[in-house]
Amino acid sequence: MDQRSNEVAGDLDGRDDHMLDLRAVAVGGLFGAGAAVLIDAALTQSSPSLGPTSGALSDAFNAFAAATVGVSLGGALSTFICRLEPWFISGVLGAIFGYLVILTPVFVATRASDVSSGAAVSIALVGLVAAVPAVLIVVAGAVAIRGLASQLSRRHRRTRR
């Protein structure tokens, strides 16, 4: 590989190789939050009507499960579309962005009438902390897949020459 090829590979659109791809973070975050809201709506419609306590627990579980799956998918998307090298950081930040900027306000706006705004924000932040292991696992898997695909692509280019 010549010097010019190394420069192009390490410098996309004139940007430094170690900058964060904010577009990937934003797109992944928005996608993840949107997916979480849709998943929550689907789970809420499909759950049977139960008593008040079990209904509240079911709604809380559905919201947490939807948020976890949604932001994990958003983090994976951020990882895959990121054009710059810190893929893992872009994926995690995409998931956190989607949760904090979109899902937390949604959780506060759709809280039960007997829950204060402050308590709803606290509950949403506890949910973020609880979702972190799933996000890390999914984003790490996306980084591994992306790295493997990149390595296979490089091998394929070398064999075609």
DSSP 12: G
Q: By the 8 A CB rule, do 66 and 44 touch?
A: no
Within 10 angstroms of residue 27's Cβ, the number of other Cβ atoms is 19
Q: Would you state the pLDDT for residue 17?
A: 52
Interval 121-154: pLDDT, tens: 888 888 888 888 888 898 888 888 888 888 888 8
For the chain, the domains span 19-160
Q: By the 8 A CB rule, do 79 and 90 touch?
A: yes
Q: Which of 23-32, 52-61, 136-145 comes out lowest in average pLDDT?
A: 52-61
How far is residue 156 from each of residues 98, 144, 149, 150, 153, measured CA to CA in Å?
A: 36, 18, 10, 10, 5
| Predicted structure pTM score | 0.72
Kind and range of the H or E run holding 53: helix 52-81
Mean pLDDT of 57-68: 85
